[in-house]
Structure 1
Amino acid sequence: MDAELAVLASTAGTTLIGLLTTEAWQRVSDGITSLWRRAEPERAEAISAELEATRTDLLAAREAGDTDTDGELGVEWQGRIRRLLVAHPEEAAMLRSLLDELGPSLPDTPAVTQHATASGHARVYQAGRDQHIGRSAG
């Protein structure tokens, strides 16, 4: 899969999770379900039900103060969308169009720009949010 489709899937997963608990949630659900209906119609109803379950999980997690669930579900949907695009790359244009349409509905989030330079045997670790690095002994 080319890098452009991977980035598109990542953006879609993040956008989906960002909007599922907003007033735009039904449009997001309809758009993602429509994408599946075009590419894999036999799975469209299951995807719609999974979107509803994801929304319920997000609302419950946010009410409980769980900040990890957003990221976990975003990665889950990113993977689903990536796999759909691998199987049906012709659907990328529709997904881009949906993301363009949904863009103005996204809640304001601060932009993160990172730059790093490493030389020799140096390592660079960057994160836009939490980062946990563990090294095993041995």
Structure 2
Amino acid sequence: MDVQFRYTQEQARSVTGIGQEAIRHWRKYVPYLATKSGKAARFSFGDLVGLAVTRELTDGLGISISQVHVGVESLFHTLAAQTVIRPGSIALLQNKSSLLIGAENQLGMLTQTPAALVPIDPIIENLRTKFLNGLRLPPQSVLPFFAEAVSQ
């Protein structure tokens, strides 16, 4: 049984700190986001991470969505395919592609063209804090294996 939470647009904007106009503008460039419009639109946790990474690129680094929209589109699809986002993951975005890499990878071997790197752990911690209304909990220790659902 695959249980995955889905969030409304209002919840997605609230926890990521992205305004309605920004998401509306991004939808013009990112087809993945264009499919998530209207009152019935729902966002997965991976989508929230993708929105927060996009916000870091546009607000934090000052990169125009029109310059990295193909890489951002690729990132949303990569995150949608993930069942677990590993601790230490880094989003590596180029103008035409993206990768979700582990911190243990040697970055120099991965790309020979300019890229933006966005660490995922601070984004997940920020989302976690906002979901818990600022309640600070000790971080969960990393499991030595991947969690797997079992049925009885």
Higher alpha-carbon Rg: 1
What TM-score does the superposition give when structure 2 sets the normalisation length? 0.29
Q: Which has the higher strand share?
A: 2
| Higher relative contact order structure (alpha carbons within 8 Å, sequence separation ≥ 6) | 1
Q: What TM-score comes out, normalization by structure 1 length?
A: 0.31
